Amino acid sequence: MEDRKVVKIGVIGFGTVGVGTVKILKERKEEIEKELKVAIQIAKIADKDWERERPLTVPPEIRTYDSWEVVKDPEIDIVVEAIGGVSPTFELVSCALEQGKTVITPNKELIAKKGGELLKIAESSNSELFFEGAVGGGIPIIHSLKGQLIGDDIEEVIGIVNGTTNFVLTEMSLHKTSYAEALKEAQNRGYAEPVPVMDVEGFDAAYKIAILASLAFHSKVEVEKVYREGITLLIPEDIEFAKELGFTVKLLAIAKKLNEAMELRVHPVLLPFDHPLSQVYGVENAIYVKSKTRRLTFRGPGAGGEATGSAIVGDIIEAIRNWKWQCRGRVGCTCLREMEVKPITELITQYCVRILALDVPGVLGKIATQFGEAGVSLSAVKQPGSTPGELTNIYFLTHKTKEESLQRSLEHIRKLEVVKEAYAIRVEEGG
């Protein structure tokens, strides 16, 4: 930015997040301008569809269908990217940074896959890239990891970082509804997309934990190396059995530092009732950070136009402060290491195993034999009342064992004539 009193902002994408950002800027404009002693102007907004209704109207003269008009406008100082995805956003953001503009984005996929490259471009161009809204919506976790927590030796970051899946699991837990029924309710309330694959299969959470791990452990992270498993195979009986054992069921994004390696995974877990994340319900998000010196829980709205918009406006304010005090780019890429990612097969934990099998004499013995031959010992067994000769779900809780051994036992169990299905949920220890 030049040394002047007007800061011009361009917005790419005028959907939920773009609208939320502009709404907050309009509402807080006078207060922000008074504090920063500048004038803020929304100079241009790009969107491919200006015909659909929105809760906020903007003057026709600042509208455009072409995102490149925003990026290439020499008068625009700050670009807010709110369209999502990697292409063409990577090209748009790169171009803006190369021109020395500040870019603010809540795009978790872009940051997870291309964040390192973009931060290098920002450094070489004396520009800045902010992405607080990319993880946790309104939860200030990115700035915390890049700022106040930079002096901590962080050991793990565990989060409920997807509101859709947390809402679905909450519905299944509180109302004992099926996965399909809970998902439909989420869609009816606008919490889930018509095609919810990114959420329910764990892709969204994988992007977010890749970002958090890179910041917490100062290491480059390839998102493809994050083990990922969704919630689509869960049934209400899984959650009820978990409750009997003192657990709740959550989809967690998990990053742990083990010596000089990382453990990165997204999957359903049995979480003890006393864990800080166990009582996080609905669309709320929460992130638990454990270091050698402290344990912190960040909790708040994980999505929505105003929650993410407030994170973006916070980034805008910080960007203007940096410009005023001529300290742009003071926090660049912190991924200075290349730590190994441990394969999921090396994980050691307890497992809750659900096996759909025929209720016939000797069925428990046959299944237990396969566990034993794989070196998996059992802690608890539950066989609900059923009709002899019919299929029934049998639950097993194992002692701690290696993932590789557990999967080997399931492979053999699935081959038994009396077994139709076998599914395992990992147990996460308390904080």
Q: What CA–CA distances, in Å, run from 23 to 50, 305, 309, 343?
A: 17, 9, 8, 44
Active site residue 101: no
Assigned token pair, 395: 């639950």
**Active-site residue, selected from the candidate residues 44, 113, 208, 342:** 208
| Helical packing angle, 16-36 and 305-324, nearest 10° | 40
Rg of the chain over all Cα atoms, to the nearest angstrom = 24
Pair 371, 409: CB distance under 8 Å: yes
Q: Would you give the end-to-end CA distance of the chain in angstroms? A: 45
Cβ count near 313 (within 10 Å)? 25
Q: Centre a 10 Å sphere on the Cβ of residue 400 and count the other Cβ atoms it contains.
A: 13
Question: What whole-number distance in Å separates Cα of residue 379 and Cα of residue 398?
Answer: 5
Q: Which backbone phi and psi does 203 adopt, to 5 degrees?
A: -65, -45
Angle among Cα 198, 289, 352 to the nearest 5 degrees reads 60
Phi-psi region of 210 (alpha: psi -120 to 50; beta: other; left: phi over 0): alpha
Could you tell me the CA-to-CA distances from 74 to 44, 99, 281, 371 in Å, in that order?
Answer: 12, 8, 45, 66
| Catalytic residue list | 208
